[in-house]
A = this chain, B = another copy of it.
C-alpha cells in the first residue's frame, strides 16, 4: 500500500542509504564529499498559494568536507544520519533533547541543544521527510478517541489491532499510533479540539457516535506528531477535518498551523492538512452566540496585526475573523458555552457549525 507506514519506513531508509552512497561515491572519485539541500534562510521561504503553505524556493546550501567552515556541521549531519538509521533499524524512538545527549556517546560535539535541533532540521531538509519518520518524536503528546481500528507495526505489537473507542479518556498519540496502519472505521469526519476538558465532554456527550466522528485533543498548539496524524487520517481515510479552538487570535492560529503548517517547517509537506476547516470559535460566533468574553490584552491586539500581514491569512474567513476580533477587542473560550448549559456546545453549537462548514 502506497503511503503506508511500512512503505514510508522503506522509503526513509532508501533516502538514508542514498545519502551514505553519495558520500562514498564522492570519496571513490577522490572528491571531498558534499551534500546539497534547500536553503532554509528567511530569503528562501516563499508562500505557495496552491499548496496554501510556506515552501522553500530555489536557493540551495552546500555542506562540503573540503570547506573548513563546513566540517563541523557536515560531520554532525552525517552522524545524525547514522543515528537516524540506528533508531529506525532498532525501532527505538528519541526526542530532540535525547539526540543532543546521545551525540555525546559518539564524541560528536554540539555546543547546546539548539545546535543539534538545527542539524535535525537540516536532515529533514536533506531527506524532505519529517523527523518523526526517523523516529525523533516530540515530548508532548495529545490524544485520540473514536471508532478507528488500527494495526500496530512496532515490535512486540506487530499485527495486533486495537479499536480506539475502548478507552473513553483517550489514547496518547505517540510513536506506535503514528506508525500504525488504519484498518477500519465507521467515522465520517475528524473533529480536532483545543482543550482536554472539552475532549472529555465530547466523549461524554457521544459526539463520536452522534456525529460519526473521530475526536482529537490537540492540547493547545497541536504537537507535530498530532499534525502528522491529522494529515494521515485526512488522506488515508479521506475524511474531512474540522477544528474547534478558543475564540481568540491564538485559537485561530492553532487552526492555521494545522492547515498550513509553520514557517519553520517550510521544507516539509507532511505536517499540513490543507483541506481541514476551522469552524470556530470565530469572532463572529462570540457575537452570534452571545458568549461571555474577556478583554484582549495589548499583546493579543499586536498579534492580530502581525497575522493580518501574514500571507496565510489573506482573504476568506481568516482575514475576516481577524478583523472581527480586532473590532471586538474581546475574546472568548470554548468553555464559555457552558453559560448556556454544559451540553450547549455539543447539542447546538457543533451541529450548527458543521452545517455551516459545508459552505466554507
Binding site for B on A (CB under 8 A): 91-95, 97-98, 100-102, 104-105, 137, 139-141, 143, 152, 154, 156-157, 160, 162, 166-177, 195-197, 200-201, 204, 206, 292, 333, 335-342
Contact = CB atoms under 8 A, between A and B. Distances in A.
A168 B139 contact: no
Given A167-B162, A172-B169, A338 B98 contact: yes
Nearest to A174: B169
A171 B169 contact: yes
A195 B156 CA distance: 23
A220 to B, nearest CB: 10
Contact of A197 (B139, B166, B167, B341): B139
Contact of A105 (B101, B102, B162, B339): B339
Contacts of A139: 195-197
A175 B93 CA distance: 29
A341 B105 contact: yes
A153 to B, nearest CB: 11
A108 to B, nearest CB: 11
B105 A338 contact: yes
Contacts of A201: 92-93
B98 A197 contact: yes
A147 to B, nearest CB: 13
5 nearest A-B pairs in the assembled complex, by CB-CB distance? A169-B174, A95-B197, A101-B338, A104-B339, A169-B172
Contact of A335 (B97, B176, B338, B342): B97
Contact of A102 (B154, B170, B339): B339
20 contacts: A92-B201, A93-B201, A94-B342, A98-B335, A98-B342, A101-B292, A101-B337, A104-B338, A105-B338, A137-B200, A139-B195, A141-B143, A141-B169, A152-B168, A156-B168, A167-B176, A168-B174, A169-B177, A170-B171, A170-B174
Nearest to A157: B168
B338 A102 contact: yes
Given A97-B197, A139-B197, 17 more contacts: A92-B201, A92-B204, A94-B342, A101-B333, A101-B339, A104-B338, A105-B339, A105-B340, A105-B341, A141-B143, A141-B169, A143-B172, A157-B168, A160-B166, A162-B167, A169-B174, A172-B172
Contacts of A140: 196
A225 B242 CA distance: 29
Contacts of A162: 166-167
A169 B140 CA distance: 12
A355 to B, nearest CB: 24
A162 B167 CA distance: 8
Contacts of A97: 197, 333, 335
A6 B335 CA distance: 29
